[in-house]
Amino acid sequence: MRGPINIWRLIRTGATFIRSRAMHTVLEAMDAPPRLRAAAYAISAPFAWLGYKGDPNLPPVTRAITALGPAYIKFGQILSTRADVVGPEMAAQLRVLQDRLPPFSTALAKRTIEEEFERPISEMFAEFSEPVAAASIAQVHQATLLRNGEKVAVKVLRPGIEKAFRRDLDAFHFVAKFIERFSRASRRLRPTDVVKHFERTVMGELDLRMEAARASQFTANTAGDAGFSVPKPIWDMSSRRVMVLDWAEGVPMGDPEAIKAAGHDLVGLSERILQLFLSHALRDGYFHGDMHQGNLKVAPNGDIVAYDFGIMGQIDEYTRRVYAEILIGFIQRDYRRVAEVHFEAGYVPADRDVNEFALALRAVGEPIFGMDASHISMARLLAYLFEVTERFGMPTRTELILLQRSMVVAEGVARSLNPSLNMWQAAKPAVETYIRENLGPKAALQDVQRAAKVITRYSSRFPDMLKASIERHSEPQDAAPADKPLHPAIWAGIVAAVFVGGVAIGLIT
């Protein structure tokens, strides 16, 4: 029965966009071809009366998305940072989704807090405000702790949010399976895996204890970053549905005029946002995965303050090195090396032509250099990148989805402060620092040290394993010795020992 229910939901989605008068705006922003526009209206128009009404006080697109549910809101939040893709009018409408959604009642929020901590609000807070921000999953109240008078932010999950998310995600899974079944070309994009990745990411936001842990980890990682700060969680007042953390004072990042009026440098802030994001992703392998304007402020001292740690990204060291080599290749306009890195990492099938791929990358990168960013159509650039991945049969890398999406969002925020931002020039210092510290002789020595630790850990077992393997091969067997290779662990030990010894000799000499 799930199939018919999900088909009904999709029809109702289109009907909602028509009823809210958002369909025309969306299709215009997408520059959709006439055939697609006709099909969208033909399928949805007869059911327009069944669409959700939404809040008539909101702009059309925002009205439709908020009526449809939290998963749609999350997608709209991403697009809100890309005025260059969806146009300034729609971006302005979608920005409401970041932190200005209709809140639920303060009485209900207080009841949730009291249920979580099993004591009255009056025993915890001297003051407790009405909602100061409301997003897709939770809302925030400003409060004063009774025990020390400290000003804090209290984040409370929306009632019934878990059920609502699962309902939306079920429809997304249905669409992904439908597309994969009937569109062979779409399978390389792995829509089912993409939806699964999105589900894991979003469901992680629904336990605020985990968000407190992510905030704590991020605080530790970025303690030495100049011009950046993170509010710390208060552990004894955080639970599954409630989280309390330090109050973040500052001007919202979504208000460039107020930031400028406060005396802050918009150009410097735009560059710092990108550099901080890349530093966190490359240096730490741990980065803010939802870095839109609604989750950023500019403190009175000029620091960028990040909060809302429901989505954090994590990538391993190998992926960081690959990503850094790709970025530095683009920065240096070495498209051949960028192409080779893609092949070495397995991002492009081995049977494709590396030279052709390098030329395709040149067509992507060259229009960016030497051109004012305000004259670059990011929509066309993204469309061409999609054509390149399709032409070369590149499958979607689900482990890179959040990194790529977050990079797009961070760039969108930076360009909202400085439309003339050159992303590659702004990214250069952070990428070069990572390359210098992680891909040179210093990194090679660190790799040797790590390999030596692994060998040391298992070295006591090598003699017994070698003895057992020799004894097995010395005994009469029906099979020929050539059919019985040494134990894989022994080969691993021999190879590792030779590698470490060779590198060590090379460094010494």
Please answer whether residues 77 and 100 qualify as being in contact, where contact means their C-beta atoms are separated by less than 8 angstroms. no
Highest mean pLDDT among 40-44, 326-330, 378-382, 489-493: 326-330
In the DSSP assignment, the letter for residue 395 is P
Of 48-52, 292-296, 466-470, the range with the lowest mean pLDDT is 466-470
**What confidence tens digit (pLDDT) does each residue in 216-267 have?**
999 999 999 999 999 999 999 999 999 999 999 999 998 999 999 999 999 9
What pLDDT score was predicted for residue 481?
46
pLDDT at residue 53, rounded to an integer: 82
Q: What is the pLDDT of residue 163?
A: 81
103 against 174, higher pLDDT: 103
Q: What tokens does 340 get?
A: 């080779």
pLDDT band at 302 (very low <50, low <70, confident <90, very high): very high
The pLDDT value recorded for residue 392 is 81
Q: Average the pLDDT over 58-76 and give the result.
A: 81
Q: Average pLDDT of 298-316?
A: 91
Q: How far apart are CA 402 and CA 160, in angstroms?
A: 26
Question: What value does the mean pLDDT take over residues 172-194?
Answer: 69
Say what the pLDDT of residue 1 is: 42
Pairing of strands 286-288, 312-314: antiparallel
Can you give the pLDDT at residue 480? 46
Residue 304 pLDDT > 60 = yes
Contact between residue 292 and residue 310 where contact means Cβ atoms under 8 Å apart: no
Higher pLDDT, 437 or 395: 437
pLDDT, greater one: 198 or 382: 198
For residue 479, what pLDDT band results from cuts at 50, 70 and 90? very low
Residue 477 pLDDT class (50, 70, 90 cuts): low
For residue 140, what are the β-bridge partners? 133, 155
**Residue 210, Cβ density class (10 Å: 0-12 exposed, 13-18 middle, ≥19 buried):** middle
Mean pLDDT confidence for 353-366:
87
30-34, 100-104, 445-449, 473-477: the lowest-pLDDT one: 473-477
Least confident of 136-150, 274-288, 328-342: 328-342
pLDDT at 491 over 60: no
Give one DSSP letter per residue of 86-147, joined into a string: H-HHHHHHHTHHHHBSPPPPHHHHHHHHHHHHTS-GGGTEEEEEEEEEE-SSEEEEEEEETT
Mean pLDDT of the chain: 79
pLDDT at 12 over 90: no
Characterise 231 by phi-psi region: left (phi > 0), alpha (psi -120 to 50), beta (else). Answer: beta
Q: What is the DSSP string of 140-201?
A: EEEEEETTT--EEEEEEEPTTHHHHHHHHHHHHHHHHHHHHHH-GGGGGG-HHHHHHHHHHH
Task: Please report, rounded to a whole number, the percentage of residues in the chain having pLDDT higher than 70.
Answer: 73
Look up 290 and say whether it is catalytic.
yes
Radius of gyration of the chain (CA): 27
Question: Which range has the top average pLDDT, 302-311, 326-335, 409-418, 422-431?
Answer: 302-311
2 contact partners, CB below 8 Å, separation of at least 6 = 170, 174
Q: Which position has the higher pLDDT, 488 or 397?
A: 397
Which pLDDT belongs to residue 259?
96
Would the pLDDT of 505 be above 80?
no
How many angstroms separate the CA atoms of 432 and 278, rounded?
11
Query: 77-121, pLDDT tens digit by residue?
Result: 766 665 655 666 777 777 777 666 778 999 999 999 999 999 999
Query: With bands split at pLDDT 50, 70 and 90, how would you rate the model's confidence at 405?
Result: confident
pLDDT at 482: 47
Provide the pLDDT for residue 147: 92
* pLDDT(145) > 70: yes
Please give the single-letter amino acid code of residue 259. Answer: I
What is the enclosing helix (H) or strand (E) of 499?
helix 488-508
Lowest average pLDDT, out of 106-110, 155-159, 169-173, 463-467, goes to 463-467
Instruction: Give residue 301's pLDDT band: very low, low, confident or very high (50, 70, 90).
Output: very high
At 168, is the pLDDT very low, low, confident or very high (cuts 50, 70, 90)? confident
Amino acid making up residue 465:
M
Q: What is the pLDDT of residue 268?
A: 94
Catalytic choice (99, 168, 246, 290): 290
